[in-house]
Homo-oligomer: A and B are copies of this chain.
Amino acid sequence: MQPKCYSVIIAGGKGTRFWPLSRSQRPKQLLKILGRRSLISETASRVLSISGRKQTLVVTVAEQLNALRKELQRLPRRNFLAEPYGKNTAPCIGLAALEVVAKNPGAVMVILPADHWVADINGFRNTIGAAVEIAMRQDSLVTIGIRPNYPETGYGYIMKGKSLGGKTAAYQVKRFREKPSVSMARQLIRQGSLWNSGIFVWKASLLLELMQRYQPTIARGLEQIKKAARGKSLGAPSPQIRNIVAREYKKMPNISIDYAVLEKAGSEGKVIAIEADFGWSDVGSWAAVHRMLPHDENGNAGNGKWLALGAKNSLIHAEDRLVVLLGVEDTVVVDTPDALLVGDIRRSQEVRELVDQLKKKGYGAYTIK
């Protein structure tokens, strides 16, 4: 365990693509779609050996705060920071950086989305350990790049520059490429490009410095919050501080850390990618869940009580009831107490639009705010 290392779990997402399982009060990171524990619980377990429970923070939105505190009871109450509402990842990570710097001005922060999946925990730990060492040693932003195993078009790619040498596979980042076409994705893979995992490691103070340079509006907001907090924790803040956070959030742009800071720092040679292969997925859709679960001899996978007769390549999420498939293929069935989805699993990216449709058709009560 690194004394100057903090983990920051980013847990503000809704997970619309996991409807009907995901709801306002049950976002993706709280779902048990890959086993007996929620995604965020698995994520917390992965980082506790790196940063310890006292140095593991969670940033979320106010409406999820209680549910997450309940889910992660091992963590101290003050380690949960609440945004008034989601403004993408840049303001969120800025807020966490303020908190880390207040606790330890020289500390490194490891930023991890709450809802990802990792197969090889030891490989993951080794990679993060190496990234922390690099981030301690030099003033660079470190991002974890995953060796791709198929031309996914939904991810961002990292184009590698020159190797840093040493025993860690670390490279200067040449350029970021967001969501390429299939042919471009193939080309990027041939060139050795990596998937951008969204797992970042850097000194909190460096991030705040770069925010001032690239995102002065966010930096000004953070400065106001810091002044109001006067060194106190932003976890469980006073009503006055909460009001100031809300006031400053209103002014901040809705922007991802990738666009806000990483791309700009990358073009100035300040980003390093560590190449890793620990079995990673962002668990982006029911189709991704189907890929990750163990299959029967016909390619069917599922949770709960289910039976597949003559069915193929299908995914079943059952809760209290028995689900029986007869002769269907490439079908996803998600059974919840008040709503049921039966879909073509190859169209599971469209679940997001489906939720919009539900709202328009008067079924808003079944959806996500």
Picked from B20, B323, B347, the residue with its CB within 8 Å of the CB of A310 is B347
B357 touches A339 (CB 8 A): no
**A338 lies within 8 A of chain B by Cβ:** yes
CA of A289 to CA of B169, assembled, Å? 62
B366 touches A338 (CB 8 A): no
A339 touches B321 (CB 8 A): yes
* B-contact 0/1 string along A341-355, CB 8 Å cutoff: 111101100110010
**A35 lies within 8 A of chain B by Cβ:** no
B322 touches A350 (CB 8 A): no
B323 touches A342 (CB 8 A): yes
* B-contact 0/1 string along A328-343, CB 8 Å cutoff: 1001010101111111
A340 touches B321 (CB 8 A): yes
CA of A323 to CA of B347, assembled, Å? 17
**A363 lies within 8 A of chain B by Cβ:** yes
B322 touches A344 (CB 8 A): no
> Shortest Cβ distance from A198 into chain B, in angstroms?
27
- Size class of the A contact interface (CB-based, 8 Å): 35 or more
CA of A327 to CA of B332, assembled, Å? 11
Question: Using Cβ atoms and an 8 Å threshold, which residues of chain B touch A331?
Answer: 328, 331, 342
Oligomer: number of copies: 2
CA of A333 to CA of B305, assembled, Å? 17
> Shortest Cβ distance from A317 into chain B, in angstroms?
11
A347 touches B326 (CB 8 A): yes
**A307 lies within 8 A of chain B by Cβ:** yes
Interface SS of A by simple majority: mixed
Picked from B325, B337, B357, the residue with its CB within 8 Å of the CB of A321 is B337
B339 touches A325 (CB 8 A): no
- Known contacts being A307-B357, A307-B363, A309-B354, is A328 close to B340, with CB within 8 Å? no
Question: Using Cβ atoms and an 8 Å threshold, which residues of chain B touch A366?
Answer: 322
Question: Using Cβ atoms and an 8 Å threshold, which residues of chain B touch A307?
Answer: 357-358, 361, 363
**A324 lies within 8 A of chain B by Cβ:** yes
Question: Using Cβ atoms and an 8 Å threshold, which residues of chain B touch A305?
Answer: 363
User: Which of A324, A333, A340, A363 has the most chain B CB atoms inside 10 A of its CB?
Assistant: A324
Picked from B318, B324, B350, the residue with its CB within 8 Å of the CB of A341 is B324
CA of A361 to CA of B325, assembled, Å? 14
B337 touches A324 (CB 8 A): no
Closest partner residue, chain B, to A346 (CB atom): B327
Question: Using Cβ atoms and an 8 Å threshold, which residues of chain B touch A333?
Answer: 340, 342
Picked from B321, B339, B341, B344, the residue with its CB within 8 Å of the CB of A338 is B321
CA of A358 to CA of B307, assembled, Å? 8
Question: Using Cβ atoms and an 8 Å threshold, which residues of chain B touch A320?
Answer: 338
Given contacts A310-B344, A323-B339, 8 further A-B contacts (CB under 8 A): A305-B363, A307-B357, A307-B358, A318-B340, A325-B343, A327-B343, A327-B346, A328-B331
Interface residue ranges, A against B (CB under 8 Å):
20, 305, 307, 309-310, 318, 320-328, 331, 333, 335, 337-344, 346-347, 350-351, 354, 357-358, 361, 363, 366
The 8 closest A-B pairs by CB, nearest first: A326-B343, A327-B344, A327-B347, A322-B339, A323-B340, A324-B341, A333-B342, A325-B342
What are 17 sample pairs from A and B whose C-beta atoms fall under 8 A apart?
A307-B357, A307-B358, A309-B354, A310-B347, A310-B350, A318-B340, A320-B338, A321-B338, A322-B363, A323-B342, A324-B339, A324-B341, A326-B344, A326-B347, A326-B350, A326-B354, A327-B350
